[in-house]
Structure 1
Amino acid sequence: MKGVDWISRTATGQAFFALNETERILLELDERTGHDLVRAVLAMNGGTVVKAHGLENIPASGPVIIGSTHPIGTFDFLAHAGALLDHRSDLKVVAGREAERFLGRDLIVPVDLDRQDKVLTARQTRAGMLAHLEQEGALLVFGSGRVPTLKDGLLIEPQWRTGVTRVSAESGAPIVPASANMRNSRHYYRTRRLAALLGGGNDEFGRRVASLRYVSELIAKLGGTYNVYYGPIQPAGTAPDLLKELSEGLVPGLYKS
């Protein structure tokens, strides 16, 4: 894998797996988790600046779901956490089990997925989401659960799942649509297209192969400046298609309608 990183770094200027970079980061983080980890990661490489727009739309207390697009991958949560942790220190994100091992239990409502991103722990995940909302916490959920593809220079966000709407309706928690103005590097989309082509035109296969670049994409974002947007609060039970439309509309020119 380090050989692949060397070739990729020589050819593109960016490692594919970023194994050496990951090792250095883990040593620097020194087993931090939770808020300390988020702040430490965002302080790397001279400091990452996250500018929040519409923060007034998120209640300072009480149960709320933040339904967001998922443009990047792992870095999406760090961007939202950088914008929100001082405003909502009780923020948790619904994310894959592997994220729990990195971020720690305090920030995660874990979900187990199969290779097609189908939820294997729907009942447990739903119970975890409801429990956090019952404790009047803030919950970040990526509506589609999948990173979008790129076509004609615009992101194509997959359809949003119904989980946000159903949990919101059951708990009575309102929903704030959200989106970060970010995209992955051209190397990510090139890898995804090539893998999909080699997989017989299967973009799902391409997405899985390209997901191996998520750590490299995260590292490449550190030290930059990013804008994160939060829209007007929506009533509990708002339909996923409307939430997706509202979230994408927060960053004109980023998503294909």
Structure 2
Amino acid sequence: MDELLRARLRIAEGADLRLKALRLFMSTVDMFNRTVTGQSFFALRETEQVLTELDGRTGAALVRALLAMNGGTRITAHGLSNIPSRGGVVIGSTHPTGTFDFIAHAGVLLDHRPDLKVVANREAERFLGPDCIIAVDLDRNDTVLSARQTRAGMKAHLQAGGALLVFGSGRVPGMAGGVLVEPPWRSGITRMSAACDAPIVPASANMRNSHHYYRTRKLARILSGGNEDFGRTVASLRYVSELLAKLGGSYDVHYGPVQPAGTSPERLQHLAEGLIPGLYRPS
């Protein structure tokens, strides 16, 4: 768990006092929240218990173990036939909740495409394992430090005929007026698919985070003087808590008609968000 916290908040090795202070703060908030509401806020203790139960599982084994917890999580796929059963393909998805987005997609895609890999922050590698991830290294300002290596990994996987899951914006959306507002999608999907002549399938999962997440994000943004990045970073401490809260539920994932290689990010975002009417702010 310490490694996940270090990666999430960019806490340098050796900054043990800062890490201990963070754990104390999170534990205190959890204890208070359990007393008042009966639920943890950051779920630090629960997360460590789950990590112990997972016993070092990664990749497909981890996904299946997580989805079997709490009586089983049901993921229903719509449009799975739109994803080719073989050959290089990019699956460009919205990113509604954080870590659980990959778990939900992988729950239905791994049987269809056992070669699935996801492009995700390096911190996810500590959780998902190195075999199913193409890692992205970020600095404190979310600037990509590993662009060349990440692009090389994506290209090699697609050229080998693999399936690649990419979250278009790379960021979990906020909420405004009761609907999600995802940042503009980056151009990486478009450029990589064009370079590898790989078709793109727009995708979206019909779910969102709890009110606690959005309230935390809003409060942190206000206290920081309107810094949206700071608000998102603070709220991201709830990602695992949000994941655990979803286990045992039922969710739908949607895959749209295949699009030509090089389709613009604006078009892909419009198509992906449109798969679930009413979840996203109309673009």
Q: TM-score range by the shorter chain?
A: over 0.9
**Could you tell me which residue of structure 2 aligns to residue 100 of structure 1?**
125
Query: Hey, what does 2:90 align to over in structure 1?
Result: 65
Query: Within the alignment, does 1:188 sit opposite 2:206 as a pair?
Result: no
- Do residues 37 (structure 1) and 62 (structure 2) align? yes
Quote how far apart the aligned CAs of 1:26 are.
1.1
Query: Residue 109 of structure 1 aligns with which residue?
Result: 134
Letter of the aligned partner of 1:155 in structure 2?
Answer: L
Amino acid at match of 1:191: T
**Which SS does the other structure have where 2:111 is aligned?**
coil
| Equivalent residues of 1:52, 1:228 under 8 A apart | yes
Structure 2 residue aligned with 1:213: 238
Q: Distance in 1 between matches of 2:165 and 2:38?
A: 33
Match of 2:78 in 1: 53
- Which amino acid in 2 is paired with 1:223? G
Deviation string, structure 1 residues 61-92 (Cα, Å, up to 9, x no partner): 10000000000000000000011111001000
With over 3 angstroms needed to count, the CA separation of the structure-2 counterparts of 1:162 and 1:11, relative to structure 1, is farther
Q: CA offset at residue 119 of structure 1? A: 1.2
Gaps of 5+ in 2: 1-25
User: 1:12 Cα shift?
Assistant: 4.1
The one-letter code of the counterpart of 2:51 is L
- TM-score normalized with structure 2 length: 0.89
Encode CA deviations 1:18-48: one digit per residue, 9 max, x unaligned. Answer: 1111111111111111111110011111111
Asked if the contact 1:196–1:206 (Cα under 8 Å) also holds between the matched residues in 2, the reply is yes
Partners of 2:37 and 2:135 lie apart in 1 by 34
Q: What one-letter code is carried by the residue in structure 2 that aligns with 1:58?
A: I
Q: Output the CA distance in 1 between the equivalents of 2:206 and 2:39.
A: 21
Name the SS of the counterpart of 2:112 in structure 1.
coil
Partners of 2:49 and 2:161 lie apart in 1 by: 37
Alpha-carbon deviation of 1:8? Answer: 2.4
Instruction: Kindly provide the amino acid, as one letter, of the partner of residue 211 in structure 2.
Output: R
Q: Report how far residue 13 of structure 1 moved.
A: 4.0
Which aligned pairs between 1:1-257 and structure 2 lie closer than 5 A?
1-257=26-282
Question: SS where residue 117 of structure 1 aligns?
Answer: coil
Query: 1 CA distance for matches of 2:128 and 2:238?
Result: 18
The residue type paired with residue 158 of structure 1 is: P
Instruction: Quickly say closer, same or farther: Cα 1:163–1:12, change in 2 above 3 A.
Output: farther
Q: Is the 8 A contact 1:14 1:216 kept in 2?
A: no
The aligned amino acid for 1:150 is: M
Name structure 1 gaps, 5 residues minimum: none
More helix by share: 2
- Deviation of the 1:15 alpha carbon: 1.8
Distance 1:55 1:36, change over 3 A: same
Percent of aligned positions that are identical: 71
Q: Distance in 2 between matches of 1:108 and 1:13?
A: 35
Distance in 1, matches of 2:211 and 2:61, equals 31
2:171 counterpart letter in structure 1:
R
CA contact (8 A) 1:16 1:212 kept: no
**C-alpha distance in structure 2 between counterparts of 1:248 and 1:9, whole Å:** 35
- Work out whether residues 180 and 227 of structure 1, in 8 Å CA contact, stay in contact via their aligned partners in 2: yes
In 2, Cα distance between the equivalents of 1:158 and 1:63?
A: 26
Q: TM-score under structure 1 normalisation?
A: 0.98
After superposition, the CA RMSD in angstroms is 0.9
C-alpha separation between the residues in 2 aligned to 1:182 and 1:96?
21
User: AA paired with 2:111?
Assistant: D
AA in 2 matched with 1:200:
G
Residue 5 of structure 1, CA deviation = 1.0
Paired residue secondary structure (2:161): coil
The secondary structure found in structure 2 opposite 1:113 is coil
